[in-house]
Amino acid sequence: MTTVPVKKSAAKPAETAKPAEVSTPVQAAAPAPAETAAPKVATFPQVPMADLLKPLNAVQEQVRANAEKGIERLRAQYATLKGSAEQATDRLEESVAAAHAGSRAFNMKVLELFRQQADASFAHLQALFGVKTLGDAVKLQQDFARAQVELVQAHTRQLAEMAKQVATDVAEPVRQSIVQPLGR
């Protein structure tokens, strides 16, 4: 068997060396009979709870009223904004419809003018086949070239006027949507 040395706990020398102190009781003076009564506690007047909450309720009502006013203003602004957005959308749809109709009409006019040019060219070609002399062919060609230049100028004016009208028709709904809110 093995023995394990036991360590002695090291006690503080101050505790062991210090002699116990002796205290002497101090006798208190005998209390006066008036002081032996129950201690006085500050008493507050009894106030109903509803009276205490009145200022808080007033603040709550004021906050609620302000919040409701704010919500009403936001609803009115939203309705105005929504109405303006719907009007702008309608104007944009009108503009797109005008652009579609105008471009269709313009393209139809261009096709018609090409057809007229092609018909005039075929008629001129048939006339050239019927010419008997070179002088008549030259005169016929000069007359055809002059007529074609005048015709191209007239067609160009027609197409420019039509393009201007289409642009006006496309821009008018958008212009109205901008001018109308400004009150001009």
Euclidean distance between CA atoms 50 and 57, whole angstroms = 9
What is the model's pLDDT at position 57? 83
Choose among 71, 70, 67: nearest CA to 59: 67
Residue 31, pLDDT above cutoff 90: no
pLDDT level of residue 139 (50, 70, 90 thresholds): very high
Which of 9-23, 46-60, 148-162 ranks highest by mean pLDDT?
A: 148-162
The pLDDT of residue 43 is: 73
Pair 112, 172: CB distance under 8 Å: no
- pLDDT per residue over 161-179, tens digit each? 999 999 998 888 888 877 7
Own/partner pairs, 21-24, CB within 8 angstroms, 24+ separation: none
Is 65 a residue whose pLDDT tops 60? yes
Dist. CA 64–CA 58, nearest whole Å = 10
pTM given for the model: 0.54
Read off φ and ψ for residue 35, nearest 5 degrees: -75, -15
As a whole number of Å, the end-to-end CA separation of the chain is 117
Q: Where are the domains of the chain?
A: 51-182
DSSP H helical ranges for 19-133: 49-129
Please check the confidence at residue 42 and state whether its pLDDT lies above 60.
Answer: yes
